[in-house]
Amino acid sequence: MFRLNWKWAVTVLMIVAAAAGAGCKKRASDPFPASGAVAGWDKTSDTRVFAAKDLWQYIDGDAEQYISAGVVSTSTSDYKYQGQLEAVVDVYTMNDAAGARKILETGQSKDAKSIQLGDAGVAYSQSVIFRKGPHLVRIVAYESTPDTPQALLALARGVEAKL
Amino acid sequence: MKNRREFLKTAATGAALLGSSAAADKLGFAAMLDQHAEAAKSKVVVARDAALHNASGQLDEKRVLDLLDRAMAAYTGRDKQAEAWKRIVPVGKVIGLKVNGLGGKGISTHFALVMAIAERLQQAGVKPGEIVVWERDARSLEACGLTVNTDPSRVRVYGNDVAGYENEPVAFGTVSVKLAKILTRECAMVIGLPILKDHSLGCGVTFAMKNMYGVVERPQDLHVGGCNPAVADLNCIPTIREKVRFTIGDAISSVYDGGPSFHPERLWYPNALIVGEDRVAVDRTAWQMIERKRAEAGMPTLEAAGRPPRYIATAADQAHNLGSNDPQRIHLMEV
């Protein structure tokens, strides 16, 4: 009787351990801050996700450079700051950090300002681009206001914290 | 040297272009020949308004209609807008306005331009439901500030995602594509409304001819080799060649590097429209505009950057004969 109970207990423990282990696995991260999570910013669209083979549907003509750098998937969502300033957040997940680095470095222009964000990043008056591990994040505002640079940087920090 | 028959034919054509023999007498024979030579060129109008954007980059939408009017008056030689438009579009037929919203909200055909054209078309006698504003899908239209509408009592706005594509592909040269039904079945004539952009992945420039990538089911298949000769081949497909007969190119704002996506750090405001029937001449003019801006910004030419828009010359070659790439054969009017 005891012998049977002992085996039973071990089996139950193994099942519990396996279940707990599965539960502890890191979920596929959702890098998009919810409305209000970053002060002033609202998420104004559903997140759209594109596999590499479908990326042309989102950025036809630009897709090839991401594909050649090893993009696996791309997620995008629209945001609005204080009900006025519209922006879009694109998160490109690459095969590895080298792919993200390649995109970040090839796309820079002379007026890029380096920022401390993720593994590396740059900011312009209407956009912030940074990389963290295999992720390349591009946040673009559709207009330039005095608040735009700081607002974009705050949103970028919100995304970075969720990666 | 011309023989007598060719000479008489040329002279007669010249007189006809001038409108009357009295006009020929008034201007003199040499002037008549000059006019004829000018008329034989592809006309491209670049209309500008430096005040179209204010200092903070806001578009003054009210000025867009005036700019369009100036462009059309210069192109057609008609000051009355209804008359000007009747020289371009057939009344009683469905007119397509192929916009470009691929680059997203920041770099898509401007809503104010689309509305201005729709207004002038209606004043020329085109019914609202005979105007179809179209792009690849609803999202691309939204990027232009447009909302899908299929109600035929109003200007229609919808994408290929609603109307679909033909089942059978058509081919020319290297391309074999399925065309959008809006092009094949709805429209009698199409006016292209591309937006001027750099194309950083080999193509160099995207404008009038490249805008036709939005009328096929799988544009992603046409980007190899810097889109050359795919752009030229695509525009030679008879339905595209015959129906897409006019371009009102949006150079109100543009990206001179990093396109075709929106890169605000490379955004600039040419504050211009580029108008013409010859799509090759229009593209060549647009290309030069981008080159001038790149030079001003201290950037290399597209050739030096490894992505000259070779498809423009290809489109002008004997195999394609879509228009003129030779500046000596382009009558450029800047107004």
Q: What share of chain A is helix, strand, coil (3-state, %, to 5)?
A: 35, 30, 35
Asked if B91 and B126 touch (Cβ cutoff 8 Å), the reply is yes
Question: Residue B159's closest CA among B115, B74, B97?
Answer: B97
> Cβ of A140 and B260 within 8 Å?
no
Q: Which residues of A touch B104 (CB under 8 A)?
A: 88
Q: What is the mean pLDDT of the segment spanning A108-136?
A: 93
Q: What is the mean pLDDT of the segment spanning B290-301?
A: 95
User: Which CATH superfamily does the domain covering A29-162 fall into?
Assistant: PknH-like extracellular domain (3.40.1000.70)
Contact partners, residue B163, CB within 8 Å, separation at least 6: B134, B180, B181, B182, B185, B186
- Please give the backbone phi and psi of residue B244, each rounded to the nearest 5 degrees, phi first: -85, 95
Lowest-confidence segment of A109-113, B58-62, B97-101 by average pLDDT: A109-113
Asked if A107 and A74 touch (Cβ cutoff 8 Å), the reply is no
Q: What is the mean pLDDT of the segment spanning B59-73?
A: 95
Cβ of residue B258 closer than 8 Å to a chain A Cβ: yes
Q: Which residues of A touch B264 (CB under 8 A)?
A: 124-127, 140-142, 144
pTM score > 0.80 for this model?
A: yes
Q: Is the ipTM of this complex over 0.90?
A: no
Minimal Cα–Cα distance from B201 to chain A, Å?
Answer: 7
How does pLDDT run across B161-181, given as a tens digit for each residue? 999 999 999 999 999 999 999
> Cβ of B264 and A144 within 8 Å?
yes
Cβ of residue B262 closer than 8 Å to a chain A Cβ: yes
Q: Which of residues 290-329 of B touch A (CB under 8 A)?
A: none
Q: Which of B106, B200, B219 sits opposite A140 (nearest CB)?
A: B106
Q: Which residues of B touch A143 (CB under 8 A)?
A: 57
- The pLDDT > 90 percentage for chain B reads 79
Above 50 in pLDDT, residue A23? no
Asked if A163 and A31 touch (Cβ cutoff 8 Å), the reply is yes
Question: Residue A100's closest CA among A78, A127, A121?
Answer: A121
Q: Which of B200, B220, B264 sits opposite A140 (nearest CB)?
A: B264
> Which residue is associated with the tokens 């209609």?
B65
3-class SS at B205? strand
Instruction: Please report the number of interchain residue pairs, chain A to chain B, with beta-carbon separation below 8 angstroms.
Output: 63
Task: Report CA-CA distances (Å) from B214 to A74, A102, A134, B140.
Answer: 22, 29, 32, 10
Find residue A73's DSSP bridge partners.
A51, A93
Q: How many Cβ atoms sit within 10 Å of the Cβ of residue A9?
A: 10
Q: Which residue of B has its CA nearest to A64?
A: B201
3-class SS at A51? strand
Asked if B281 and B246 touch (Cβ cutoff 8 Å), the reply is no
Q: Which residues of A touch B106 (CB under 8 A)?
A: 140, 142
Tell which wins on pLDDT, A134 or B258: A134
- The pLDDT > 70 percentage for chain B reads 88
CATH code for the domain defined by B41-334 = 3.40.50.11440
Lowest-confidence segment of A57-66, A114-123, B121-130, B150-159 by average pLDDT: A57-66
Above 70 in pLDDT, residue B207? yes
